């Protein structure tokens, strides 16, 4: 029995399913989750001391590599002066100023401790600001696990759900609450035009992953994004860009900088905390000023703007702001995808790839899908086998075909060559 097996048996006694977040369990692919003992740069080691090249990077945050010495030093320095005060600090102002500078649509920002809190708070704010109840989300998008967003949601919910039409994706979510959430297909311009024509004056907000990364990687069309921005502006609805995953991951200014769209509110997380529990939501000052203590929309957090997390976030944002960071990250990620595609071609296996900045998707299909429905038609069985073959070769992919993958600046040429060599072997065995 491996140490991972021993730990997994032990974990399941005191932790439901043995994991503290469902996507960590290998439920879609089968087998034993790897228990991590340490990580450095692009690698982590499991309880059997086996080394893996990490292509999840904590689901996105570790963009400057695991245990980056500069970030470690910043965190150590912050930790020496206590972990939390429950009172404001200058570091929070610096982080807020930096976010506002990097994302011009964000005029003011409020810090929270998780992406879930960011989206939940942004929705409450949008409802408070507009005085309306209805929200629109898109099928396969994941926005954290707040009740009203657990409808046809992506990520772990896709991995586990029996997607029943119009029902909550999770138990414990009242139908009464979910009726305020309208779910439309991603990339469907007609569907959103139709809804706005009928109920435009009742819609508080449209929330979207501007590049979807929780149903594998799905890019929006220009027409789709343009229609959403026009319709929300015309009807006085708040456009919420959920950039918890894409913010500082696909580009320094997030997906919005690549798309030329100015959202009303933006949710951030993952990279902005450099691996610490840290997230934020921000946007137009006119809307943000409705938040307590200025306005009547309540929102709070004991650990919000935590000084150790702020130190990690600030240092991470400093590193990614350096000249050439995203050119390098984007080039390396594209090179990796090209290599995987060539390996699959050699084995005659239908395979498609896509990437934006340091985020990628691959699909056992002939073409890159553009909706949740299309992702479900890719060859999930082939993915499962590929996942385990790569794992044996020491490459750790997301344990689900409904997740994007992530690189870091530490994934250099030698690391990419090792991944591609592993893929060569794996695809040959797969065919
Ligand atoms: C990860 C994620 C969230 C939730 O963030 P947590 O920190 O896990 O609560 C929300 N939205 C998107 C797009 C995400 O990828």
Q: Which atom of ligand 1 is nearest to the CA of 269?
A: 7
Please give the pLDDT value at position 1.
84
- Ligand 1 pocket test, pick from 21, 22, 142 with the greatest ligand atom count within 8 Å of Cβ, gives 142
pLDDT at 173 over 70: yes
pLDDT at 185 over 60: yes
* Per-residue pLDDT reduced to its tens digit, 351-362: 999 999 999 999
Q: Which atom of ligand 1 is nearest to the CA of 59?
A: 1
Does pTM top 0.85 for this prediction? yes
- CA of 336 from ligand 1 middle (Å) equals 25
Please give the pLDDT value at position 162.
45
Please give the pLDDT value at position 177.
86
* Per-residue pLDDT reduced to its tens digit, 121-146: 999 999 999 999 999 999 999 999 99
Please give the pLDDT value at position 163.
42
For each of the domains in the chain, give its residue range(s) and CATH number, in order of start. Answer: 3-67+323-430 (3.90.1150.10), 69-321 (3.40.640.10)
The one catalytic residue in 242, 264, 354, 424 is: 242
Q: Which atom of ligand 1 is nearest to the CA of 213?
A: 15
Please give the pLDDT value at position 166.
56
Residue owning the nearest CA to atom 6 of ligand 1: 115
- Ligand 1 pocket test, pick from 57, 111, 143, 267 with the greatest ligand atom count within 8 Å of Cβ, gives 143
Average the pLDDT over 64-86 and give the result.
Answer: 98
- CA of 285 from ligand 1 middle (Å) equals 24
Please give the pLDDT value at position 268.
98
CA angle 278, 281, 285 (to 5 degrees): 140
Give percent above pLDDT 70 in the chain: 97
* Residues near ligand 1 (Cβ within 6 A): 114-116, 119, 142-144, 209, 213-214, 242, 244-245, 269, 279
Confidence of residue 169 (pLDDT cuts 50, 70, 90): confident
Q: Mean pLDDT across the chain, nearest whole number? A: 95
- CA of 264 from ligand 1 middle (Å) equals 19
Q: Is residue 379 annotated as a catalytic residue, yes or no?
A: no
Please give the pLDDT value at position 164.
39
Please give the pLDDT value at position 158.
62
Q: Is residue 431 annotated as a catalytic residue, yes or no?
A: no
pLDDT at 215 over 90: yes
Q: Is residue 129 annotated as a catalytic residue, yes or no?
A: no
């Amino acid at each position: 029995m491996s140490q991972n097996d021993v730990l997994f048996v032990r974990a399941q006694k005191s932790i439901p399913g043995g994991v503290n977040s469902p996507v960590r369990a290998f439920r879609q692919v089968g087998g034993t989750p790897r228990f991590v003992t340490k990580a450095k740069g692009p690698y982590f080691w499991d309880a059997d001391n086996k080394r893996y090249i990490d292509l999840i990077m904590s689901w996105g945050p570790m963009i400057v590599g695991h245990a980056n010495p500069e970030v470690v030093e910043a965190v150590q320095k912050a930790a020496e002066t206590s972990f939390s005060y429950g009172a404001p600090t200058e570091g929070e102002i610096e982080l807020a100023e930096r976010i506002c500078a990097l994302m011009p649509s964000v005029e003011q920002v409020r810090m929270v401790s998780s992406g879930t809190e960011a989206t939940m708070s942004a929705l409450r704010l949008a409802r408070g600001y507009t005085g309306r109840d209805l929200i629109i989300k898109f099928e396969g998008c994941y926005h954290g696990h707040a009740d009203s967003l657990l409808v046809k949601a992506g990520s772990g919910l896709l991995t586990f759900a029996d997607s029943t039409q119009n029902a909550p994706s999770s138990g414990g979510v009242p139908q009464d609450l979910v009726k305020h959430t309208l779910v439309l297909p991603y990339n469907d311009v007609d569907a959103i035009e139709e809804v706005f024509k009928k109920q435009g004056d009742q819609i508080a907000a449209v929330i979207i992953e501007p590049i979807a990364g929780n149903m594998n990687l799905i890019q929006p069309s220009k027409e789709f994004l343009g229609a959403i921005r026009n319709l929300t502006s015309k009807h006085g609805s708040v456009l919420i860009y959920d950039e918890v995953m894409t913010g500082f991951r696909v580009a320094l200014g997030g997906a919005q900088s690549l798309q030329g769209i100015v959202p009303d509110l933006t949710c951030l997380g993952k990279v902005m905390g450099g691996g610490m529990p840290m997230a934020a939501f921000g946007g137009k000052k006119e809307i943000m000023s409705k938040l307590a203590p200025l306005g009547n929309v309540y929102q709070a957090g004991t650990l919000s703007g935590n000084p150790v997390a702020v130190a990690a976030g600030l240092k991470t944002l400093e590193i990614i702001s350096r000249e050439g960071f995203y050119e390098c990250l984007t080039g390396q990620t594209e090179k990796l995808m090209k290599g995987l595609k060539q390996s699959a071609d050699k084995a005659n296996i239908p395979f498609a790839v896509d990437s934006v900045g340091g985020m990628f998707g691959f699909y056992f299909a002939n073409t890159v899908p553009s909706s949740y429905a299309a992702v479900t038609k890719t060859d999930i069985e082939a993915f499962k086998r590929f996942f385990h073959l790569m794992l044996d070769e020491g490459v750790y992919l997301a344990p689900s075909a409904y997740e994007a993958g992530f690189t870091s600046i530490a994934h250099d040429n030698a690391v990419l060559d090792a991944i591609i060599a592993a893929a060569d072997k794996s695809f040959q065995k797969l065919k």
